[in-house]
């Protein structure tokens, strides 16, 4: 909805990924003034279509739209972003079909890098419903000892320097400095921030962190492409789940 330039980039990337994977994608580019009722009516139509396996609403939405109402309108079995309360609850108990794409991408990076989470001190900086909270749950399900840090955390650097695995998802450019990182730690930078000169950077100050970390993800790259890959994975899973219903 609307003409957010970042959203346009993300949607185009998702469409390209669908085409690459052989997944049919349909885009509904709605004008800014679209009403909430019109959006929900469209979602209900898509919920009822047997040829549609997954539905997502590109966030953020215009201010006159209730984001929560839109997310709740998507059928849980077609919620490939895994934002619906039903899917959030399933993640909490560890019996889930879909995982939010960014935390899922982080876990895939950890797995493919041969890093064992079990018994590790894991620190997640950020507590959003989209990344921070589900990320903490996924690390916990892999037997990590998890600490969630946020804007009210006291002595943050003491917490981050204790982390064997550090996930930065705070949305502040270059927030995590090299002196806040434990020697040899795995550092995963979820942030993507556009600077005044047009360049992109993460939540981790890469130049000071790379010499301390044992492994670190870059921005751009790193987690970003994995997020889209996990969306494709969720969509394929949704096709399978819905076929059996």
Q: pLDDT tens, 22-74?
A: 999 999 999 999 999 999 999 999 999 999 999 999 999 999 999 999 999 99
Whether the CB-CB separation of 243 and 213 falls below 8 Å is answered with no
Q: Residue 244: pLDDT above 80?
A: no
Q: What pLDDT shows up at residue 245? A: 58
Q: What is the pLDDT of residues 214-242, one digit of tens each?
A: 999 999 999 999 999 999 999 999 999 88
Q: What pLDDT shows up at residue 125? A: 98
Whether this prediction's pTM lies above 0.75 is answered by yes
Q: What pLDDT shows up at residue 5? A: 80
Confidence of residue 194 (pLDDT cuts 50, 70, 90): confident
Report the CATH architecture of 101-224.
3-Layer(aba) Sandwich (3.40)
Q: Residue 157: pLDDT above 90?
A: yes
- CATH class assigned to 1-76: alpha beta
1-76 and 101-224 share one fold: yes
List, in order, residues 6 or more apart from 173 with CB less than 8 Å away.
191, 193, 195, 201, 202, 203
Domain ranges of the chain: 1-76, 101-224
Percent of residues, the chain, with pLDDT higher than 70: 99
Residues identified as active-site = 14, 58, 81
Q: What is the CA radius of gyration of the chain?
A: 18
């Amino acid at each position: 909805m609307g003409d957010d330039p970042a959203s346009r980039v993300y949607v185009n990337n998702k469409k390209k990924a669908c085409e690459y994977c052989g997944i049919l994608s349909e885009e509904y580019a709605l004008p800014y003034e679209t009403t909430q009722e019109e959006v929900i009516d469209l979602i209900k139509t898509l919920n009822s279509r047997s040829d549609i396996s997954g539905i997502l609403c590109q966030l953020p939405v215009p201010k006159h739209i209730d984001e929560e109402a839109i997310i709740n309108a998507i059928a849980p079995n077609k919620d490939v972003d895994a934002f619906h309360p039903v899917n959030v609850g399933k993640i909490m108990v560890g019996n889930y079909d879909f995982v939010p794409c960014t935390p899922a991408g982080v876990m895939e990076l950890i797995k493919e890098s041969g890093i064992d989470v079990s018994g590790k001190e894991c620190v997640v900086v950020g507590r959003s419903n989209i990344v921070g909270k589900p990320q903490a749950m996924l690390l916990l399900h892999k037997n990590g000892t998890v600490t969630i840090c946020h804007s009210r955390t006291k002595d943050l650097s003491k917490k981050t320097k204790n982390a064997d695995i550090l996930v930065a998802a705070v949305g502040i450019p270059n927030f995590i400095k090299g002196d806040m990182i434990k020697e040899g730690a795995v550092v995963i930078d979820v942030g993507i921030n556009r600077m005044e000169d047009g360049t992109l950077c993460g939540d981790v100050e890469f130049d000071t962190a790379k010499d301390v970390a044992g492994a670190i993800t870059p921005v751009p790259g790193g987690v970003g492409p994995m997020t889209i890959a996990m969306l494709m994975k969720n969509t394929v899973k949704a096709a399978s789940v819905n076929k059996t219903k």
